[in-house]
Amino acid sequence: MSAREGWITFAATLAAFLMLSAIFFLLLGKPPLEMGLSLVEFAFGDAYSLSETLAKASPILFCALAVAVPGRLGLISVGAEGQLYIGAITGTALVLGFPELPPLAMIPLMLAAAALGGAAWGLVPGLLRARLDINETIVTLILNYCAVLFASALVFGPWRDPANQGWPATAPFPPAAVPPAVDGKVHLGLLIGVLLALALHVFFTRGRAAVHIRILAGNRKVGRTFGLDFAFWVTALMATGGAIAGIGGIIEVAAIQGRLQPSISLGYGLTGFLVSWLARHRPLVILPIALLVGGLLAGSDALQLFAKVPAASATILEGLLFATALAVPGLIARWRRSDGN
Partner 1 sequence: MIMDREPLVRFEHLTRRFGELAAVSDVSLDIRAGEVLALLGENGAGKSTLMKLLYGIHPPSAGRILLDGRESPIRGPADAMRNGIGMVFQHFSLLPALSVRDNLLAAWPATPAYIGRRSKRAARVLDRLSVIAPDIDPERRVDTLSVGEQQLVELCKVVNLEARVVILDEPTSVLTPAEAQRLYDFVLRLAAEGRAVVLITHKLADVEACADRIAVMRGGMLVADFAKGERTTAETVALMMGRPAATAEPAPDRFAGRPARLVLREITASAAGHVLKGISLEIAGGEVLGIAGVAGNGQTLLAEVVAGVEAPSGGDVLLDGESIARRGDEPHATPIGYIPEQPRDNAVVETMDLSANLRLRALAAGEADGAYDVAALIRRFNIAPSEPTRRAGTLSGGNLQKLVAARELGVPRPAVLACYPTMGLDLGAVGTVYEAMFAQAAAGAAVLWISEDLDDLLARAHRIAVMRGGAIVALVENDGTLTRDRLGAFMTGAPAEAAA
Q: Is 331 in the site for partner 1 (CB under 8 A)?
A: no
**Nearest CB to partner 1, comparing residues 160 and 214:** 214
What character string, x for contact with partner 1 (CB under 8 A) and - otherwise, covers 227-266? xxx-xx----------------------------------
- DSSP class per residue in 118-151: HHHHHHHHHHHHHHH---HHHHHHHHHHHHHHHH
Q: Is 224 in the site for partner 1 (CB under 8 A)?
A: yes
Give the integer Cα–Cα distance in Å for 260 and 171. 8
* Cβ contact 84:248 at 8 Å: yes
**Nearest CB to partner 1, comparing residues 232 and 306:** 232
Give the integer Cα–Cα distance in Å for 204 and 176. 35
Q: Residues with Cβ < 8 Å from 151, sequence gap 6 or more?
A: 85, 88, 89, 260, 262, 264
Min dist CB 10 to partner 1, Å, is 22
- DSSP class per residue in 179-195: PPEETTTEEHHHHHHHH
Using the rule CB under 8 A, which residue among 97, 157, 165, 226 binds partner 1? 226
Min dist CB 170 to partner 1, Å, is 43
Considering only CA atoms, which of 43, 63, 6 is closest in space to residue 329? 6
Give the integer Cα–Cα distance in Å for 2 and 9. 11
**Nearest CB to partner 1, comparing residues 308 and 337:** 337
Amino acid at 181: A
Min dist CB 50 to partner 1, Å, is 38
Min dist CB 82 to partner 1, Å, is 28
Using the rule CB under 8 A, which residue among 3, 225, 308, 330 binds partner 1? 225
Considering only CA atoms, which of 14, 123, 54, 103 is closest in space to residue 293? 54
Using the rule CB under 8 A, which residue among 135, 205, 219, 263 binds partner 1? 219
* Cβ contact 262:152 at 8 Å: yes
Min dist CB 198 to partner 1, Å, is 24
Using the rule CB under 8 A, which residue among 217, 323, 331, 332 binds partner 1? 217
Q: Is 71 in the site for partner 1 (CB under 8 A)?
A: no
State in Å, rounded, how far the first CA of the chain is from the last one: 13
Q: Residues with Cβ < 8 Å from 324, sequence gap 6 or more?
A: 13, 16, 17, 20
Min dist CB 16 to partner 1, Å, is 25
Q: Is 76 in the site for partner 1 (CB under 8 A)?
A: no
Helix residue spans in 45-164 (DSSP H): 47-71, 80-97, 103-132, 136-156
Min dist CB 138 to partner 1, Å, is 17
Give the integer Cα–Cα distance in Å for 108 and 83. 19
Size of interface with partner 1, in residues (CB under 8 A): 22
Min dist CB 216 to partner 1, Å, is 9
**Nearest CB to partner 1, comparing residues 108 and 218:** 218
What character string, x for contact with partner 1 (CB under 8 A) and - otherwise, covers 175-214? ---------------------------------x--xx-x
Q: Is 70 in the site for partner 1 (CB under 8 A)?
A: no
Interacting residue ranges for partner 1, rule: CB under 8 A: 208, 211-212, 214-215, 217-219, 221-229, 231-232, 338, 340-341
